[in-house]
Structure 1
């Protein structure tokens, strides 16, 4: 039903219907046929665009078109050309949809002091599928038709509507582009209809007028069926199918579903059953097939392949497989508890495992203390072999007991007593703080090795050489002592090189292929374990490198006090690397000034240390503790080497 003054204005005063399939003609014919007024702007509708053409006297035009939401779909900007083409596309270059579009045309001639504005509407009707052609209406807000300076043509040699040229005979149709619409007179041309238009009501359609308003109303008669719905014609009969009811009540028709019919889905008292006729719970699934239930998502950022669990409106957890682009456990199988919720695993009615809200894991306890908490008197850890051999680790009275069988502290092979600091190896003779025995009941430790094809055997013992109070290392292959400590504390060795210095160093080869040339290796530089060359080091070039090994000794005039190495083996090299003691190290203070007492770690500057500002990242990457400072730049800092 149309019932507004705006629509009757469109229908009865200034509505022009133009088929967008009208053929285009050449510009010369258009100018000759249409340009009847010196100040006239022509609107020419062609199959692919609308063209606004101005007379030569026009200095500037500006066309803006907006959709019903007020959004701009076309803006030509101010142009000095005499033509503006609008391709009937929106701002995204997509064809316009059916609807009402407002236009604002601003024009200015040399005689105009200020620009003049013409407003109106385009009504786009995409009727190709319905009527065989699309249509376009052009309207004006003027009371006297299209407007004093607007002409509309559906092809370039024919004018549909416009202004009567002053001084011409109204009936001279060859001289006038179009006649002015007389008050109360219908549009002269509408979709091929000419002369006066008359609106006549048909079957079930009434046309009434009241003042300036015309009302068109369509109504079905009582009991009358719709004549055409989706290709169905004449009367339509609605028939109920399985589990569908159709209930008429006056002018109301109720269509309802009752159950699932022959499907495997049933509903009883609000319980849903799949494969079961009488579901006992909210969702009851029964199947003799081997196919399991499946939760599946199609988005990498989705949690849809899983189940959410709630208490009332409070989320408690989730079990599922998040997508590969989710923020939590991407691509993993996830058991997730909401903040403040524990997760536990029970078997046989007994709590087996608990993960608390801090991520601590408890076995046998609901309140784990520490990252892993095992509770119980029996063997808390059992180690077994495929041959059935077992070893047990258990807590007995606060002591950690390692034993081959049974329970308790009796017959343990090794006991750690954290409360008094004792470590106890037990033999048949009874307990001792640390017991290492031999056949003659002396404290005795024998070491064997095979080096370069030759066997070497050494012993570490007390009471060597028949001298009470002595302790030594004896080479059984060479039949001679290698180290001895007498009762006064003097140490006897084959060779001990101490030439003065303040650090303990070992010799290493340093690889420079990844960072610098051989000539750039200097005393005081930080080195790390070279993963590509076993037994060798490389200049450190990574911040917080946990492979950091030490500092090349000798910088700042402080030499190593003890150097170790074994010639001809991987445990040798050209550079003494300080592993302990005091040594100067090169430091880059770009990441922060270094003060005495600061922990130092490796930096991204090859061979340089820096202040360890992040404690968590520095674990395992500490070189030592600064004993002098460096405010800025690069320089040497005395460090107490304490590799951590």
Structure 2
């Protein structure tokens, strides 16, 4: 009797290990083919096979061009497999030789060879084997794909390493932006021995690593050192000051630091006792060497200044401008000269005109109440030609005009009171002229 609720054209039951219905077509012309059993239904099922122990439907063929079971559909699916078992598949394809177990084909540009769908939260397509499977051509996936994981959390979720092989171009991954609809960056191989990051909007190979040497380059794809930068770098301040530590393998510690010492000072720090050996004030350009010596083995030191000066304390109430002739008082402090041929003359306050001191001795942290006096070199000096015109090469001494020098006309009085030699002439009046300091 037929199964309940099914209207059948033919219904048979077999309780033995034999098929209930068997159809055989032994036509040998494979190009023409034939059908063993054909079932057609306008609304119901064309062929229904059920079995409580064996296979519901078995189709076999000895033809290389035809299928053991063929399902065709003009509106619905050609073959539909349903399983109500807990772990039994709806459709099983098996091949005991070299062909595919299941083959899906489509000749339409809008169709798909195999379409996998799951509306219950499970997997749309599951492949298992050693190897698990192989895909060729284009594959469109709307959900997440997991490799080595059955609960993928991203569009592609891999539970182990992946390998990207070189094809017609180098191996790597392009990153595409929806706006402006183009590849923006590439991560992969730059030739046979270089891997890095490529910016597609002008940067080029911004960062690369030589896979042979381990050298890393920024702005260059041929780094010659462990870290090779083709342009400037910026080191920002973090929890500590900005800079770079230099570590020695022996004795396994940081030996030196180059960087910022506060907000306005940069320098070199020795970590084994020297401390800040050399610093520069970033506001003034002043160089400070609080400890240690400067050793010059070969070569010269070039200074842009014109004289060697030394700082002295200024006597109370004195206002000394550059170019002023000064003397020392009983306390060793500077005062403006005011007498002719004064043997207490100390020199000229440095810094007038176009000349600046090249070296300043006894310089203190605070310059308040102190002034640099030129001891050697060229300096601009206030001179007075009232007692006689001054020619180039004339010896100069103090004058009665406060802060001014004059020509030393009396050699006997000038002994011990000479400031230096005039480097420019002055016929009359007062002026500021360059002189060569030569105290004697």
Give the TM-score taking structure 2 as reference length. 0.32
Higher helix share: 1
Higher strand share: 1
Give the TM-score taking structure 1 as reference length. 0.22
